[in-house]
Amino acid sequence: MANNPISMIKIRQILRLHIQGRSKVQIAAQTGISRNTLKKYLKEFEASKLTFAEISELSDKDLEDLFIKPEDKPLNDKLQILFSLFPTVDKELKKKGVTRQMLWEQYKQKNPDGVGRSQFNFYYAQWKDQVNPTMRMEHTVGDKLFVDFAGEKLNIVDKQTGEVQQVEVFLAILGASQLTYVEAVMTQQKEDFIAACEGALYYYGGVPAAIVPDNLKSAVIKSSKYEPTINETFADFAEHYGTTILPARAYRPRDKALVENAVRLSYTRIYSKVRDHTCYSLEELNAAIRIPLEEHNNTLLKGRNYSRRQQFEEIERAALMPLPPLRYEMKKQLFATVMKNGHLSLGPDKHYYSVPYRFIGRKVKVLYSRHTVEIYYNYERIALHTRTKSAYHYTTDKDHLASTHRFVSDWTPERFISWGESIHEDVKLFILKILDRRQHPEQAYKSCIGVLGFAKKVGNERLIKACQRALGYGIYNYKTIQNILEKGLDQQEESGETDHPPMPSHDNIRGENYYS
């Protein structure tokens, strides 16, 4: 935007003192002109290749044309109206479908004597250069969110020991509205970085089309000009929120100019106000950060009559995609081989999950979060389960099993207890004793199947009496019931002394004399 230039008399005075050998400091003190302005006019004098005598012969109009650039001349009324409209023009251009041609036509309807289209574009570019000289990239609303970590760290203090611990500071800025988000995190590691990105999305209340990180290891495994390799977990995070990762190009400063400027502003507007506070946790520190952050977002932008927050609410909030119903859950990864029974073990929980039977013997990748377990083979998800942390139990999808194995999927303690109860209370008690033993669930279920199966072979009455006798022995397994029934002990009257099943004859049994 144009400034008020100094008078031609003042320029002549500056040049005369310069020719007399006065220093810039002396000339500035004598004329009241700043040294930067003084340097500009002396530079123009040297570039003109004219002598002071030749300059002295010039009229004031010629001198003005020589030293005063067109953009530095005072604005007439027409241009003052035009320049006053540029903040609104700049904001409107960020909306989808809005063009300079449309805005110029609207301007001409209200100002028939206004400037033509080419002059409109020329003066807008001139205004844009002065208001934001380092950032000429145009940003579409809802398009990009730029993220990075600040170079300088903040501190929290351990309340117990008084130890000072440095923490990282994460920044995010929307390209169009420049609404900024700042959060302190413990590290730049993947978990903290992704959590901070998620915090930014919830702060904005929506999701941009793309997230633009610098080439952080937490975001980009391998940098590339054409196809960088994105961290797998970060890519999964982006997929959950329906956005894209577009790493900033290496050695392209303008790709990162917006967020780097946000970092510089955070040092003066946020760090300076937070460092005086002693914070004992990240929660306290982030609460302290939020106050100057809101002040920053509500401060009017340079050369504009609106703030970042106002611009966001007016033009960008509605352009963001909606947040999904559920937050992202960080996933951990392991590899496992599918067992012959069509299940694999999730080691941390010692729980078993079914996999389609055709993958038996295959090595698969398991991604698990706090609530879900996903199983992949050759990049295809072949199973999805709700995570269960009960050790040595099975989670089985019947559709995963071969037809000959589907009956096994119905094995549950409740089923066997109910089955035993339908025969007799003592049978139910014996089944409970088998299930109470600390062994693999599948082994206990097989014992129950064997015991209850005797009802069909010998009848309920014999099984009931066999279970009653076995309960007296205090031995709870399939072999005990089998031995009682085979020997007919269930049909014998019980003596006063406790009966025990007879010792089987075997060459390898040592006998009681072995231990004497």
Is residue 138 domain-resident? Answer: no
The predicted-structure confidence for 40-65, as pLDDT tens digits, reads as follows 778 877 877 778 787 777 766 666 66
Give the DSSP H/E element, type plus range, for residue 174: strand 164-174
The predicted-structure confidence for 380-421, as pLDDT tens digits, reads as follows 899 999 998 888 888 888 788 765 555 555 677 888 889 999
Q: Is the pLDDT of residue 340 over 70?
A: yes
163 with 285, same domain?
A: yes
The predicted-structure confidence for 471-487, as pLDDT tens digits, reads as follows 988 888 889 999 999 98
Give the residue, 1 or 73, on which the prediction is more confident.
Answer: 73
Is residue 243 domain-resident? Answer: yes
pLDDT of res. 498: 46
Q: Is the pLDDT of residue 133 over 50?
A: no
Select from 359, 375, 404 the last residue of a domain.
404
pLDDT of res. 510: 39
pLDDT of res. 2: 45
DSSP 3-state assignment of 482? helix
The predicted-structure confidence for 180-193, as pLDDT tens digits, reads as follows 999 999 988 888 89
DSSP letter, residue 405: G
432 with 356, same domain?
A: no
Is residue 490 domain-resident? Answer: yes
Is residue 325 domain-resident? Answer: no
Is residue 139 domain-resident? Answer: no
Give the residue, 210 or 516, on which the prediction is more confident.
Answer: 210
Q: Is the pLDDT of residue 438 over 70?
A: no
57 with 203, same domain?
A: no
346 with 447, same domain?
A: no
Distance CA 22, CA 18 (A): 5
DSSP 3-state assignment of 165? strand
Is residue 273 domain-resident? Answer: yes
Distance CA 448, CA 417 (A): 9
The predicted-structure confidence for 210-262, as pLDDT tens digits, reads as follows 898 876 665 565 554 444 456 677 888 888 999 988 876 554 445 567 788 88
Question: DSSP E strands: which ranges in 187-312?
Answer: 210-213, 220-222, 229-230, 244-245
Give the DSSP H/E element, type plus range, for residue 466: helix 460-473
Question: DSSP E strands: which ranges in 229-287?
Answer: 229-230, 244-245
Give the pLDDT band (50/70/90) at residue 426.
Answer: very high
Q: Is the pLDDT of residue 503 over 50?
A: no
The predicted-structure confidence for 87-126, as pLDDT tens digits, reads as follows 777 777 776 667 888 888 888 888 888 878 777 887 777 7
96 with 26, same domain?
A: no
- What is the arithmetic mean of pLDDT over 191-202? 92
Contact 331, 233 (CB under 8 A): yes
CATH code of the domain covering residue 210: 3.30.420.10
Give the residue, 49 or 292, on which the prediction is more confident.
Answer: 292
Which of 201-205, 464-468, 499-503 bottoms out in mean pLDDT, i.e. has the lowest? 499-503
Give the pLDDT band (50/70/90) at residue 515.
Answer: very low
pLDDT of res. 70: 52
pLDDT of res. 52: 77
Select from 365, 389, 404 the last residue of a domain.
404
Query: Residue with structure tokens 């066999």?
Result: 466
Provide the percentage of residues in the chain whose pLDDT is more than 90: 27
Query: Residue with structure tokens 């879900």?
Result: 372
pLDDT of res. 51: 80
Select from 72, 95, 120 the last residue of a domain.
72
Boundaries of domain holding 484? 411-500
pLDDT of res. 41: 77
271 with 123, same domain?
A: no
84 with 58, same domain?
A: no
383 with 399, same domain?
A: yes
Give the residue, 100 or 364, on which the prediction is more confident.
Answer: 364
Q: Is the pLDDT of residue 287 over 80?
A: yes
66 with 83, same domain?
A: no
Contact 282, 158 (CB under 8 A): no
157 with 222, same domain?
A: yes
64 with 82, same domain?
A: no
393 with 283, same domain?
A: no
pLDDT of res. 171: 94
Mean residue pLDDT across the chain: 80
Q: Is the pLDDT of residue 332 over 80?
A: yes
